[in-house]
Amino acid sequence: MRTPVLPHYARAFVVMAAIVVAGTLALTLAVAFGPFSEQNALPVVYGLHLIALVIGGVIVGSGIGERGWLHGLILGALYAAGLWLVGFLAYDAVPDGKGWALALLGTAFATAGGMVGVGRKNNG
């Protein structure tokens, strides 16, 4: 019998959102009250998203237990599409070359996380 995939994707998205929200809150506090400046914030935000994508990929891969590369790829593509939708609706921004490159990078990180998750489930 096959494992249903939707609960694992939902759990991954919830954890990814929690990581990004908590990291963004911490970054906001560091900019407001600490020595951190706004000019240095963008790489940290990108890093938060990449960490969230790897962890989400691990969650999906370990939950489903097979074809982690495919499920990580799908997770990363859905995440990128969601970010593009928010960017378009909130800022009228359309993906440019940098946006495509970051989406591919994020999808690669989620794919790697999915492969690690499958390996983690099979070994643990």
Q: What is the pLDDT of residues 48-96, one digit of tens each?
A: 999 999 999 999 999 998 889 999 999 999 999 999 999 999 988 888 9
d(CA 1, CA 47): 37
Examine residue 11 and state whether it is found in any structural domain, yes or no. Answer: yes
> What is the span of the domain harbouring residue 51?
6-123
**Looking at the domain assignment, is residue 35 inside a domain?**
yes
In a domain, 63, yes or no: yes
Examine residue 81 and state whether it is found in any structural domain, yes or no: yes
| Better-predicted residue by pLDDT, 100 or 2 | 100
Residues 8-34: tens digit of each pLDDT? 999 999 999 999 999 999 999 999 998
What's the domain count of the chain?
Answer: 1
In-domain check, residue 86: yes
The predicted pLDDT at position 77 comes to 96
Is 105 part of any domain?
A: yes
Residue 97 domain flag: yes
What pTM, to 2 d.p., does this model score?
0.91
pLDDT at 1: 55
In a domain? residue 20: yes
Token digits of residue 27: 């970054």
